[in-house]
Structure 1
């Protein structure tokens, strides 16, 4: 952006709005069901586990 005539620039900031981040996920996660929320500059991702990867409860019979 050019400086207006008659003004001398002491300090200038240029905001870059592009940001990218890449992460690798374990195959235990269901990437088809990722949900995200951006609020107040904070990105929150919810990445559920696949049903097969979730811990399961096994009932044990005792005699």
Structure 2
């Protein structure tokens, strides 16, 4: 599956150690489904999650101390 048609944004919670997560907010606002991918594999698959599930992931990321 190609993920190129989306406009990807890197998460502000991605560290500099190569652990980078990207999401496509334009697709999310249009469909309610949030594409999430590993930025190191831009041609790889994307995980498609509901907006509610994505909100839960964001809440979890914000609660973790690095």
TM-score range with shorter-chain normalisation? under 0.3
- Higher share of residues assigned strand: 2
- Higher share of residues assigned helix: 2
Provide TM-score, normalisation by structure 1: 0.25
- Larger RCO (CA within 8 A; separation ≥ 6): 2
